Chain A
Amino acid sequence: MADTKIGAYICKGCGLGERLDTDKLESIASGEGKAAICRQEEFLCQQSTVDKIQADIDNEGINRVVIGACSRRAKFEAFNFESTCVSRVNLREGVIWVRPDTEEAKEATQEMAEDYIRMGCTEVKFMSPPSASQEQSVNKHLLVVGGGITGMTSAIEASKAGYQVSIIEKTSQLGGVAGQLHRKVPSRMPYASPQDNGIDDLNNQISANSNITVYLNSTTTKTSGAPGRFSVDITTESGSTTTENFGAIIQASGFTPYDANKLPEFAYGKTPDVVDQLGLEKLAQEANGTPIKRPSDGKVVENVMFIQCAGQRSDKEDHLSYCSGHCCSTSIKQAMYFKESNPNCDAAVLYTDLRTPGAGGEDFYRSAQRKGVTFTKGIAKEVVAGDNQHTIKFTDLILNDEVDLAVDMVVLATGMLPNSGVNIDAPPAEEGSVEIPVESILNLDYRQGKDMPQLVHGFTDSHFICFPYETRRTGIYTAGPVRRPMDINQAIDDATGAAMKAIQAIENSALGKAAHPRSGDLSFPSFRMEGCTQCKRCTVECPFGAINEDEKGYPSYNESRCRRCGTCMGACPVRVISFENYSVDSVGQQIKAVNVPIPDEDDENAVAKPRILTLACENDAYPALDMAGMNRIQHSAYVRIIPVRCLGSVNTIWVTDALNSGYDGVVLLGCQKGENYQCHFVKGSEIAHYRMSKVNDTLTTLNLEKERVATYEVAITDIQRIPQLIDDMAKTIEDIGTSPLKF
């Protein structure tokens, strides 16, 4: 670390001057804080003043800046000094706005401010400006796994932006399921009739495009490396393998149609006249515009019924609980095949909820009605195969009627299952149970498993509403029906969106920049290997699979896979992991910097001044605290709050150190954990809760009450609740008394 020269700047604006003894703060900064330059300003964030700070950096060799003013969330642009570490001491939202403006409150409020100045000066001492590792270089080559309409679209869209693409397709041709469609649901106004499936056009674009290479009859047998330097083994059916390097990967492995043989109640397999939707596409293609004939005897179909949600939206065993989204429109489209080639054919759709959302959807539904397709709200119970005609037994929910309908053909609208490969979170199979081997899609050479983590029902969707492309394997994006049940139109958008993210990953990994949510962060953890005990906690707990283990069991870190959350830092029992600007020391030393008053034994009427350490997630808890300040919602003056990247980065040493140095309580504020977790780094909050449960032992050995440490799940909207939680801890301390460990 180059020798540090601290400049501390204290603002007197926004009431800070009136409420606080800023001279005292200045003397602390220059004294204990060892700030080389220290100034008070009436209006720190105004351009002229900011320019003066820049001048100190440029001319006075200031390389660490402490801003004693408002929250880090305010005036960010003003105090964003290039290549200089800045500590924002939150005197406004964090101190005067959460304290009453009264004489009796003054002292405690001032102490708060003084401690925060001490903490800020300490923090910058232990920070150094991050710089990229240069580990990656630009590799503008993108891999697309899967050559269906999604993969083809991703490839074409990426190449249009000037990138090289290789498509790996398992079968002998591109096109996937879309290629088997006679026509597709319209994607343009007037949304009235089926349109060409578009695969030929995509094929032509690809074969004419020198930037796109296609590997047919091939699979990925090994994927290692990291964004910017993925190394992938591509193996053909014949077994020959070539290895290529890629900057990023898109997984468009598509879906497998639900096996209609699991629906004997609908006579599938008993007669060829009962088909699933893909089966009907085949018949329509053969008929090619002429009236569709039924498979059993080639008779022109005069009446056909479509059974929606066949084996879907059902809790029966072997059925799918979810809705596949596209099937209503698909049946409508297929009913049109019949109507358009033979107006006298009766085509009826049996549904419970007709789902054609969006602008085009309802137009398409109306268009089908206009063409004479009829719709019946009802539940199919059974299809009985006959020699001449087949009978559908269903309940008509509108007429409240049990109906036996004779038809020539039945089409089952069955669902889609994602081709997502191995479920890496699946519990290990019990002894003796026969495991059906699942073929991996990516064969990732990651400690965390061969394929992409799954969200639900096997789909690899993102966990976040706002961030559909949030991925737990940096630089690898899934798109199309493998990610979520979807129709072709959505798959095309999804393919394009995934291509966008993949390109972004290529560009940013080359610059050593982190991906979302710490987009652009250049800091990355370094491992002091000589201290490492190969305990593997960092490799196990990394939510993004950034850390492998080398043959000796040492962590081998992949910078561009890393999301900079610090979970590894929090996990390390021997504290060998740290970031340039965020480390066990940069936080730990702040904790130590706080002045913990030692009660004067002799003085009877000395008031106890407890200290509470609060470590708050910077994504949700800290902003909520800010907004509490903005709304002047007060909390205890005894608390000292430190924002952390994620609760997962909290190393238990911070907690034990705090308690050892006389703090009376510790409050950890993280995000919601569990099934609907809100933690932006997946498991941070959960891991923290787990680690804290272990701290109890430490507490007992120090014979401290376990109430002194509390961990909470909070939301960014808990603007009123969080101050309350802090006050609760203050109350607890009042009840159980201050810590005995003050000396």
Chain B
Amino acid sequence: MTDTIATNESILVIGGGISGMTAALEAAECGKQVILVEKTPSLGGRVSQLYKYFPKLCHPTCGMEINSRRIKANKNLRVITMAEVDEITGNAGNYNVSITKQPRYINDNCTACGECANAVEAKFDNEHNYNMDKRKGAYLPFNMAYPQRYVLDSGIIGTDDADKAKAACRYDAVDLDMQKETVQLNVGAVIWATGWQPFDAANIQPYGYDRYDNVITSVEFERMMDDFGPTGGKILRPSDNKEAKNIAFIQCAGSRDRNYLKHCSRICCMASLKQTTYVREQYADDGKATIYYIDIRAIDRFEDFYAKVQADTNVSFIKSKVASITEERGTGNPVLHGVNTEGYDRYDNAHDLVVLAVGMQPSVDREKFPVEVITNEHGFIERPEGSTGMFAAGCASDALDVNRAVQNATASALRAIQVVNRFSKTEV
């Protein structure tokens, strides 16, 4: 990475998840100057919080390693973390962008030795684990974090912890006077790779996510599988840390529902099918999973995976949108109430744990883009039309699985290149 001064031949990518990294890398590896802006202290986004991918059941960190190696080695690419775009003016081929960079309080000297983390005491919610546990006020967001550089939580600034962190660092990497700064860029094209956020399950009142400890979300379940996650890689239920062996998965938790998200989030069916294999991986024959669904949307070759899971006698399927959940007194078991609509059977099923397959919501509220962007009623950015220089990549454009998100991001890299080539001399 070099300090490229952006020109209207550069491409700005907003969002450092897998889609943003892909769009940025594909363009940079095609010789283009690219600036990648990420809101959090490190790249990776949602993918870095997953245990395994469907349908292959491989580990996302593997691709993350390759991508961060590509970024390290690429001199056309400049990464700005802890930064957000607050204004974009101009048009295709010539955008002026203003970016606000939050202070990290740790400079390039950081060797990631970890002494500052050892020195501080105060703890904060760990966003990487969806606040299921705490982290120190000086921290490396996660093992694979890139840039491999520590962060000071702004919460410790002005406290003793801040001074302890500074004192502990022998490389003068802690800079407590770091201020938020504004960066001005001139770029030719912009790629929105702002991604998605899990739908807030507390809104789904009949399921009592806000009232019952043993009702969790699919994204939280992923974190449980990480050896370095909140439960040390064990599937435990929050109420009593008992092993959760009989697990219910509720599909369309927030999706396909006019009360919440009207759209289908696409990934949730496959995610739950995948997560049933976690239950089996951990508890073998004692592991039982039940999927409550409306339609199982395992399209194209994902069907093979669906067939595999269906063949597992420990996994059962009930066609039903669960009506409500109550808590069994004494045991704390969540009890699911509803009707299996295939032949009309009522059920009141107790499980150890309920996993809500929460829907995908665009990270950026459609009203909150710093420049006019055409979104559909679900908040996803529509396909480009006319001579725009702004494109969506990945889940900013639709509810997509990783594979499709990367495919879409690769396409958006070309769309951006078309714009900068059109406005630069490099055109053939």
Contacts and interface: CB of A to CB of B under 8 A. Distances in A.
Q: Do A and B bind each other?
A: yes
Interface of A: 13-15, 43, 45-47, 70, 73-77, 80, 140, 157-158, 160-164, 187-191, 313, 315, 321-325, 353-363, 377, 397-398, 400, 456-457, 459, 461, 464-469, 484-486, 490, 493-494, 496-497, 499-501, 503-504, 507-508, 516-517, 519-520, 619-620, 623, 627, 630-631, 672, 676, 678, 680, 715-717, 719-720
Size range of the chain B interface in the assembly: 35 or more
Interface string B45-66: 0000000010011111111111
30 contacts: A46-B109, A47-B108, A76-B73, A163-B428, A191-B376, A313-B303, A321-B304, A323-B299, A323-B300, A324-B300, A357-B266, A357-B399, A362-B264, A397-B319, A397-B343, A400-B344, A465-B406, A466-B67, A466-B402, A485-B301, A490-B404, A493-B404, A494-B411, A497-B414, A500-B410, A504-B30, A516-B29, A620-B62, A627-B143, A717-B227
B122 to A, nearest CB: 22
Most B Cβ at <10 Å: residue of A324, A356, A680, A717: A717
A517 B263 contact: no
Contacts of A520: 29, 70, 73-74
B414 A500 contact: yes
Given A353-B295, A499-B414, A501-B410, A162 B29 contact: no
Contacts of B297: 353, 355, 357
A61 B328 CA distance: 77
A245 to B, nearest CB: 16
Interface stretch (B80-88, B90-98, B199-207, B415-423): B415-423
A541 to B, nearest CB: 22
B113 A508 contact: no
A162 B26 contact: no
A164 B428 CA distance: 9
Contacts of A363: 262-263
Interface string B160-204: 000000000011000000000000000000000000000000000
Given A360-B398, A493-B411, 13 more contacts: A80-B73, A157-B415, A161-B414, A321-B307, A357-B299, A398-B342, A457-B301, A466-B18, A466-B406, A485-B299, A519-B25, A623-B65, A676-B57
A156 to B, nearest CB: 10
Most B Cβ at <10 Å: residue of A313, A464, A631: A464
A354 B296 CA distance: 8
B378 interface: yes
B341 interface: yes
A189 B304 contact: no
A161 B421 contact: yes
B325 interface: no
Contacts of B26: 500-501, 504
B263 A519 contact: no
Contacts of B18: 466
A500 B411 contact: yes
A539 to B, nearest CB: 27
Contacts of B143: 627, 630-631, 719
A363 B382 CA distance: 14
Interface of B: 1, 18, 25-26, 29-31, 53, 56-67, 69-70, 72-74, 108-109, 111-114, 143-144, 148, 170-171, 227-228, 256, 262-264, 266, 295-304, 307, 319, 341-344, 376-378, 380, 382-383, 385, 398-400, 402-404, 406-408, 410-411, 413-415, 417-418, 421-422, 426-428
B376 A716 contact: no
A504 B58 contact: no
A368 B229 CA distance: 45
Given A45-B111, A362-B264, A465 B402 contact: yes
5 A-B pairs with the lowest CB-CB distances in the bound complex, closest first: A466-B63, A496-B411, A497-B410, A500-B414, A357-B266
Contacts of A468: 403-404, 406-407, 410
A716 B266 contact: no
Most A Cβ at <10 Å: residue of B108, B170, B300, B411: B300
A313 B114 CA distance: 53
A359 B111 contact: no
B418 A189 contact: no
A443 to B, nearest CB: 27
Contact of B113 (A13, A163, A469, A499): A13
Contacts of B228: 631, 719
Most A Cβ at <10 Å: residue of B70, B295, B408: B295
Given A189-B382, A620-B62, A631-B143, A75 B53 contact: no
A356 B404 contact: no
Contact of B53 (A74, A400, A465, A720): A465
B267 to A, nearest CB: 9
A459 B411 contact: no
Nearest to B52: A717
A459 B301 contact: yes
Secondary structure call for the A interface = loop
A736 B406 CA distance: 50
Contacts of B296: 353
Contacts of A359: 263-264, 376, 378, 380, 398-399
A13 B169 CA distance: 11
Contacts of A503: 30, 414, 417
Contacts of B170: 13, 43
B410 A188 contact: no
Most A Cβ at <10 Å: residue of B67, B304, B418: B418
Contacts of B300: 322-325, 484-486
Nearest to B428: A162
Given A353-B295, A357-B299, A680 B66 contact: yes
Contacts of A321: 303-304, 307
A401 B402 CA distance: 40
Contacts of A490: 404, 407
Contact of A360 (B1, B30, B60, B376): B376
Most A Cβ at <10 Å: residue of B144, B170, B407, B421: B407
Contact of B171 (A43, A163, A716): A43
A362 B227 contact: no
A75 B65 contact: no
Contact of A73 (B29, B148, B418): B148
B263 A467 contact: no
A323 B303 contact: yes
B301 A720 contact: no
A355 B407 contact: no
Given A74-B112, A719-B228, A500 B58 contact: no
A323 B298 contact: yes
Contact of A508 (B29, B112, B399): B29
Most B Cβ at <10 Å: residue of A190, A325, A362, A500: A500
B301 A456 contact: yes
Contacts of A377: 319, 342
B411 A519 contact: no
Most B Cβ at <10 Å: residue of A162, A315, A464, A465: A465
B263 A507 contact: no
Contacts of A501: 26, 410
Contacts of B114: 630
A617 B366 CA distance: 44
Contacts of A322: 300-301, 303-304
B108 to A, nearest CB: 8
Nearest to A153: B411
Nearest to A521: B73
B408 A493 contact: yes
A220 to B, nearest CB: 24
A362 B408 CA distance: 20
B62 A74 contact: no
B384 to A, nearest CB: 10
A678 B60 CA distance: 11
Contacts of B31: 507
Given A14-B111, A358-B400, A465 B413 contact: no
Contacts of A461: 301
B66 to A, nearest CB: 5
